[in-house]
Structure formats: C-alpha cells, structure tokens
Amino acid sequence: MMPTFQSVVNWLSNVLDAYTVAFFVLDPLKSSFKLVTCQSLSKHLQRTLSLPKDGSGILSQVHKVGHTVHLGKVEVEGLAGSLPFYREGEQGIKGLLATPVAGDQGLLYVDTKRHWGFNDKQQKWIHETARILEQLLDHSHRLQERESFSRILTLWHDLTEAWEKTRSRTEAAQALVQGCADYVRADYAFLVTRGCTDNAYGIAAAAGKVPQRLLQTAIGRETKGLVIEALEAGKGVFIPALNPESSDHYLFVSGEPLPHQGSLWVLCGGSAELGSLGLALLGKKRLTLTQDDKIAVQKSFKIFEAFYERWHYRQSYAEWTCRDGASGFLNPWSFAAQVKEAVHTAVQNSDPLALVILQYEPWQYAQAVIPPSELDVWERALMESLKMHVPPGIVVGRLAQNRCGLLALGGELRDLLAVAENVSRVCRRLPGPKKKKLALKTYVGASQMPQDGVTFDELWMTACHRLFEALHSGSKESAQPPPSAEKISN
C-alpha cells in the first residue's frame, strides 16, 4: 500500500523532532502555493492555506532559485516576513530548511526550536523525504490525469450517444449546453445561433434558470452584449470575472436577468452554410478551468458542429425531396405523413384538427383544349394565388395537378373552410390562358377531429368521401355538355 503525504510528513516530523513540517504544492491556475499537509506544534499555522507564488518570503525564494535554502540561525524579528504561513510571529525558531519537490511543482518546509539548524544526516533525511513526496506527487498527478480523461471520455460518449438518438436539433442543442455546464460547473449555458440571411441572433437552447422572456428575445447584431460581440468578431473570449458595476458587462441585452460577477467563456463556430454558432458558459462565481477542461468543451462543441451540419444538410435534403417542385408545397407522401403526425399529436394533447381537400375542375377538359406550355403558366399562377391566400400556420400539400390539401392543427374547421372559400373565389377570378372562357370551380371535402374520427384513416376517408359527393353533385348541376373546343378557342 502506497504511503500518503500525511504519513510521510508525520514520519519526518517524528524523526527530526521538528516544530513544523509542511508540504506545499504550486497551483498554476491560481499562481499560488497550496498547503497539502503538515505536522506542526504551532497554534498560528492554518491547516487550509493558500499563499501567492510571489511575495511569500522563503517559499518564493526557494521556488525562484530552484535549490535548497538552509538557515541555521534565524533572526526572530525578521521571521514573520520570511514565513508568511504563520498567522502571527513564532518565537524561538532556531533553524529551518526549505527544498524544492519535483522541480517547481512543490516545496518541503521544515523548522525546529531544539537546535541550530540541521546536521548532514538530518538534511539527508529531509532530501530523501522530498524524493518520496515527489513520487507520491507524480502518482497523485497520474490519478488526477486518469480521472480527468475519464470525465472527458464520459462527456463525449454521453453527448454523442444523445446526438445519435435525438430527432431534432433543439434536443441536441439542449444536450450540449447541459452537458458542458455540468462538466465545468457553470450555472448557465447558452447555444446562440444566427442563420446566414438573418439579422438577429436567437438562443436555441439554455441550461440553468433562464427566464422564458430572454429565450424568446431576438437579439440584433448591433447589440453590444459580450456574447454577441464575440460572435460578430468570430473570436472566442474568456473573462475570469465580470464587473457587475460596469454597464458594458452583459451577455445579450442590457438589463437582462442574469448574474454579472462570475466568469464568462464564449466559444465561436459556424460556417457559411450553417451561419453563426456560439456556446456561452456563465458562472455566478469564478470558473476554475484546467487545460483538459478547455479541450473537453472545445472538442464537444466541434463534434456538435459536425452533427449540427449533418442535420442541416439532412433537413435541406428532406425539404427538397418532400416538396412538389412546381409549387413548393408538400408532395402527397409528405402531406400524408404530416397529417398522421398531426393526428398523433392532437390525440395526445386533446387538440382539435381540421383537414380540407380541394379539387379544381374541369382540369382534364382543360388539358385537352389548352397547350401544355400555356397550361403550365396557368398552373403556376394557380399555385401562387394559393400561397398568397393561405394564412401562416396552415400546412399545404399538393396531392395531384388539380388537388391540394389543407391541414390545421389546433384550428377550427369553419376557419379552414373560410380559407377554402376564399381560395375558391380567387380561382374563379383567375384568367385562363389567352383569355379563354374557361373558369375553374373548386370542390371541397372536409373532416375534423374528433367529430369525424380520431385516426388518420377515418379523417382522410371522410374528407375524400365528401369531396366525391361534392364532385358528384356538381356534375348533376352541369348536365349540359361542355362547349366545343372550336367555341372556346374563339
């Protein structure tokens, strides 16, 4: 079993009959000496102690010169300045020795009140103890390194596993901010995005108690927030301690309900296709980040960018494949899938749902008497008029050349029928090719949930059945045969 720092220090103290034996380790992040362990008879030595690397008397001198300092006679009046780790001046110290441990990584300090300094044999014991402490320190660093690597691999594994399983970029972004915030012990984390053509940033995901109002805020590019300025400059920034008294130290917008006294770390990313992408980590207190911590978060952000880009291209491809090329509306398969998903959501949330199918006639007759080049122009004009008169929030699909579907989740059927009636009036006024006297009539079939069913099959078949009835009654009304092609062309 490997000895501990404390057991080694206790052994040396007993062998030398020392007054104080203390082992300090340099903390490079805080640029200070940290007391790891000690054995002392002094009432003035604090058991938890951190001293600045510079200006700490004998410790700073030994660390600077890099070799042992041995004083056989110490003037009592100058002791307080040389030994700042005693809270008050110690009386009666006759000798001390301080020596480096593991180069510049640590210091071993020994003093005594029994004799003037240490003889050669005692100094040999002290140096041998320093070598043992070096081995223990190296072992401790290896354990810390292994633990750090384990934490990094766990973070990357958990994030990539979550990103592989998730179905949306929002869920993936939430996994990133929460994972990175937990890793560095930040109180808040934000993923900030801006599309290539957008003039404002948005918060795609956040960790911590962030007000909903801030999450929904569109943040202009001209905003002087620290996060936005870093993203606009394309350079990451780390601020160890924000100044709460400064009017410029805010993240997004002035007056935001966030703490402004801890550390802020902003990472920048994105591309010409993705737009701007940024990860911001905020602590209520100072964040202590090792080099491993920084690498872990930076690599996590880079991996997320790759996933984010993959989702972007996948969505672009899906948009391209699920749309009708002529109109830009959903194609028949995509519209049907959208209806199925909407029905599932409506059942879960007990929301109403309305489905309308429109059919324009006489389309087959129009194809027989109008040249394809002219019919294509008329067809595009018809689809453009439909785009203009369908309000936002309604899903439109093109089911055939002369058939379209309208879907409203959470809407009333009467509102959707009003839209259909408006579209019908527009279609009747739409001039035919080269002013031929051919007016389109719109036939409507509709269904609603839950009145007409609670499954996709029930709603779809009801709407199609009512469309068939409308077409059948319309054919009865127009018992006269259509005019001949010669009359229409005149």
In angstroms, rounded to a whole number, what is the distance separating the alpha carbons of residues 225 and 228? 5
In angstroms, rounded to a whole number, what is the distance separating the alpha carbons of residues 46 and 32? 16
Q: Is 463 helix (H, G, I), strand (E, B) or coil?
A: helix
pLDDT of residue 88: 67
Only one residue has tokens 């998730």, namely: 166
pLDDT of residue 484: 43
| 459 band by pLDDT with thresholds 50, 70 and 90 | very high
Nearest to 274 by CA among 229, 237, 305, 242: 305
Only one residue has tokens 């018992």, namely: 479
Q: What are phi and psi of 187, to 5 degrees?
A: -85, -25
Nearest to 359 by CA among 471, 460, 462: 471
pLDDT of residue 78: 56
Is the pLDDT score of 80 beyond 70? no
Tell which wins on pLDDT, 480 or 6: 6
pLDDT tens-digit profile of 385-401?
888 888 888 899 999 98
Q: What are phi and psi of 224, to 5 degrees?
A: -95, 20
Please, what are the domains in the chain?
2-143 (3.30.450.40), 166-319 (3.30.450.40), 332-477 (3.30.70.270)
Q: Note whether 360 and 426 are within 8 A (CB).
A: no
Structure tokens at 280: 């911001």
Percent of the chain with pLDDT over 70: 91
Nearest to 433 by CA among 482, 352, 377, 359: 377
Number of C-beta neighbours around residue 259 at 10 A: 16
Q: Before 362, cis peptide (omega within 30)?
A: yes
Is the pLDDT score of 434 beyond 60? no
pLDDT tens-digit profile of 243-276?
988 888 899 998 899 999 999 999 999 887 788 9
pLDDT tens-digit profile of 39-72?
999 888 888 899 999 888 889 999 999 999 998 7
Q: Note whether 332 and 398 are within 8 A (CB).
A: yes
DSSP assignments along 219-261, one per residue: EETT---HHHHHHHHT--EEESS--TT-TT--SSSTT-SS--S
Q: Is 444 helix (H, G, I), strand (E, B) or coil?
A: strand
How big is the chain by its Cα radius of gyration, in Å? 38
Is the pLDDT score of 426 beyond 80? no
CA end-to-end span of the chain: 107
Tell which wins on pLDDT, 131 or 164: 131
Q: Is residue 191 packed enough to be buried (19+ CB in 10 Å), middle (13-18) or exposed (0-12)? A: buried
Instruction: Please report which helix (H) or strand (E) contains residue 306, including its range.
Output: helix 291-321
70 pairs with which residues across the strands? 97
pLDDT of residue 479: 46
Q: Before 28, cis peptide (omega within 30)?
A: no
Q: Is the dihedral angle over the CA atoms 146, 147, 151, 157 positive or is it negative?
A: positive
pLDDT tens-digit profile of 108-140?
999 998 888 899 999 999 999 999 999 999 999
Q: Is residue 19 packed enough to be buried (19+ CB in 10 Å), middle (13-18) or exposed (0-12)? A: buried
Tell which wins on pLDDT, 316 or 383: 383
Tell which wins on pLDDT, 373 or 436: 373
pLDDT of residue 81: 60
| 146 band by pLDDT with thresholds 50, 70 and 90 | very high
